[in-house]
Amino acid sequence: MTKRITTVLCLLTALLSFAPLANAKDSFKICWSIYVGWMPWDYGAQKGIVKKWADKYDIDIEVVQINDYVESINQYTAGQYDGCSMTNMDALTIPAAGGVDSTALIVGDFSNGNDGVVLKGKKDLKDIKGQTVNLVELSVSHYLLARGLESVGMTEKDVKVINTSDADMVAAYTTDDVTAVVTWNPLLSEI
């Protein structure tokens, strides 16, 4: 009887030890959008660096550029991607609200100098009062605007915010009716 129980326990242990292997994922999709701190993903994919590391661990990693920041987060939240480059602040909004538990793997930068408020023909942030401001709504840009306004004694009620995709920001700024934008690099350097 003891031999039979021992045999059954050994078989169960052996079968259970293979269960994680059967469920182990070997293919991953990572998305990223245009931001200076995330450009290494494209470089790594183009130069074979991502493939080299994937091959080392016998997995496949597909790195995909999404031309709209919020859409990249939406697609990640919907399960179309296993990972997504995003700010810590934005990971706490869309994915969290969608029930997606996210883990920060890489803190790539701190945005020091990579984000800015740009006013056409004006040099002082106080001059933004009454203007329409184009930005990616509910993103770090929105937060930057709120903090900037606070620093000059204003609130968001003093401006009109227009949600604008980062993919459209540079082109929007070239039009006459757009007088203020909040964005990040490399878009900021193009404006």
CATH of the domain at 103: 3.40.50
Q: Is residue 19 part of a domain?
A: no
Q: Is residue 134 part of a domain?
A: yes
Instruction: List C-alpha distances in Å: 147 to 44, 138, 182.
Output: 34, 13, 12
Q: What is the pLDDT of residue 93?
A: 87
Burial of 35 (0-12, 13-18, 19+ CB in 10 A): buried
Q: Is residue 15 part of a domain?
A: no
Which token pair is 39? 């450009």
Task: Assess whether 35 and 104 both reside in one domain.
Answer: yes
Q: Is residue 41 part of a domain?
A: yes
Q: CA-CA distance, 132 to 114, in Å (whole number)?
A: 22
Q: Is residue 5 part of a domain?
A: no
Number of domains in the chain: 2
Q: Where do the DSSP E strands lie in 91-177?
A: 115-119, 132-135, 160-163
Task: Assess whether 149 and 92 both reside in one domain.
Answer: no
How many CB atoms are closer than 10 A to CB 182? 26
Per-residue b or e along 140-161, where b marks 16 or more CB atoms closer than 10 Å to that residue's CB: bbbbbbeeebeeeebeeeebeb
Last residue of a domain, one of 85, 109, 133: 109
Tell which wins on pLDDT, 177 or 22.
Answer: 177
CATH of the domain at 162: 3.40.190.10
How many CB atoms are closer than 10 A to CB 104? 10
Task: Assess whether 121 and 46 both reside in one domain.
Answer: no
Residue 18 pLDDT > 50: no
37: containing domain? 25-109
Task: Assess whether 122 and 179 both reside in one domain.
Answer: yes
Task: Assess whether 125 and 171 both reside in one domain.
Answer: yes
Task: Assess whether 79 and 42 both reside in one domain.
Answer: yes
pLDDT in tens, 61-119: 999 999 999 999 999 999 999 999 998 888 888 898 899 999 888 777 677 788 999 99
Burial of 93 (0-12, 13-18, 19+ CB in 10 A): middle
What's phi and psi for 18, nearest 5 deg? -85, -15
16-25, 72-81, 85-94, 182-191: least confidently modelled range: 16-25
Task: Assess whether 29 and 104 both reside in one domain.
Answer: yes
Last residue of a domain, one of 87, 109, 131: 109
Q: CA-CA distance, 27 to 20, in Å (whole number)?
A: 15
Task: Assess whether 43 and 75 both reside in one domain.
Answer: yes
Q: Is residue 67 part of a domain?
A: yes
Tell which wins on pLDDT, 5 or 72.
Answer: 72
Task: Assess whether 100 and 147 both reside in one domain.
Answer: no
Task: Assess whether 180 and 166 both reside in one domain.
Answer: yes
Q: Is residue 1 part of a domain?
A: no
Last residue of a domain, one of 57, 79, 109: 109
Q: Is residue 17 part of a domain?
A: no
pLDDT in tens, 121-168: 999 999 999 999 999 998 999 999 999 999 999 999 999 999 999 999
